[in-house]
Chain A
Amino acid sequence: METLPVQTHSREEMIDITTAVRRMINENGWSDGALLLYCPHTTGAITVNEGADPDVVRDITVNMNKLVPYRGDYHHAEGNSDAHIKSSMFGCEQLVIVEGGNLQLGTWQKIYFCEFDGPRTRKVWLKWLAS
C-alpha cells in the first residue's frame, strides 16, 4: 500500500489528484490491473468527474451545500455532520483501471479528493490490484 499526502486549503474543496496518481503508477511500475484509491477520513471522499471546466467542480460543491447544509438538524457535537453525510454520499473509495501502465480515464475525467471539513492535511491510500 502506498500513501498520497493531500493538503487542502478551504472547508469545502475538490482537489485534482490525477497527476499525483499517475506519478504513483509510473514510480511503482504498475502495469495492468486496477488501482483502489481509498480515503481514510470520515469527512472527505474520492470521486471522478469533469476536469476540463472548473465550473463543474464549483457547481458540485455549491449544490452539495444546498443538498446538505452546514447548519441543520444535527446532533453530532463536532458541528461537522454535513461533512460526514457528504462523505458517505460520495463514498470513500474509487477503483480505476490501469492498462499498459496507463491510467484509463475518460476524455474529461479527473480524480478528485473531496474535502468537506477543511482545511486539513489529508491522505489517500493506494492499493494495487494486479490482474
Chain B
Amino acid sequence: METLHIDTGQREEMIDITGLAQRTVRENGWNDGALLLYCPHTTGAITVKMGDMQYPEGG
C-alpha cells in the first residue's frame, strides 16, 4: 500500500491528483492491473470527471 499526501486549501475543493497517481504508478513499476484509490477520510471522496483543459472535441 502506498500513500499520497494532499493539502487542500478551501472548505470545498476538487483537486486534480492525476499527475500524482501517474507518478506513483511509474515509480512503482505497476504495469498491467487495476489501482484502488481509497480515501481514508469521512468528509472527503475520490471521483473521476472531465478535466479543466479545453478538449477540441468537447471532452
What size tier do the contact residues of chain A reach? Answer: 10 to 19
Interface of B is mostly: loop
CB closest chain-B residue, reference A104: B1
Verify if B5 is at the interface (C-beta below 8 Å from A). no
Q: Which chain A residue has the least Cβ–Cβ distance from B1? A: A99
Interface centre among B36, B38, B41 (most CB of A within 10 A): B38
Is B58 in the interface zone, CB < 8 Å from A?
no
Q: How far is the CB of B5 from the nearest CB of chain A, in Å?
A: 14
Residues of B within 8 A of A93 (CB): none
Find the residue from B1, B36, B38, B42 having the highest chain A CB count within 10 A.
B42
CB neighbours of B1 from chain A (8 A):
97, 99, 104
Stretch at the interface among A15-23, A76-84, A105-113: A105-113
Give, as a whole number of angstroms, the nearest-CB distance from B35 to chain A.
10
Q: What is the interface residue range for chain B against chain A?
A: under 10
- Which residue in A34, A56, A106, A109 is a CB contact (below 8 Å) of B36? A34
Q: Which residues of B contact A96 (CB under 8 A)?
A: 38
The docked-state distance in angstroms from the alpha carbon of A56 to that of B43 is 11
Q: How far is the CA of A105 from the CA of B42 in the complex (A)?
A: 10
Mask: chain A, 82-122; 1 = CB below 8 Å from B; 0 = not? 00000000000001110100001111110000000000000
In the complex, the chain A residue whose C-beta lies closest to that of B38 is A97
Q: Which residues of A contact B39 (CB under 8 A)?
A: 106
Tell me which of B36, B38, B42 contacts A49 (CB under 8 A). Answer: B42
Residues of B within 8 A of A104 (CB): 1, 38, 40
Q: Is A50 an interface residue (CB 8 A)?
A: yes
Bound form: Cα–Cα A99–B39 in Å: 15
Q: Name A residues whose Cβ lies closer than 8 Å to a Cβ of B.
A: 34, 48-50, 56, 95-97, 99, 104-109
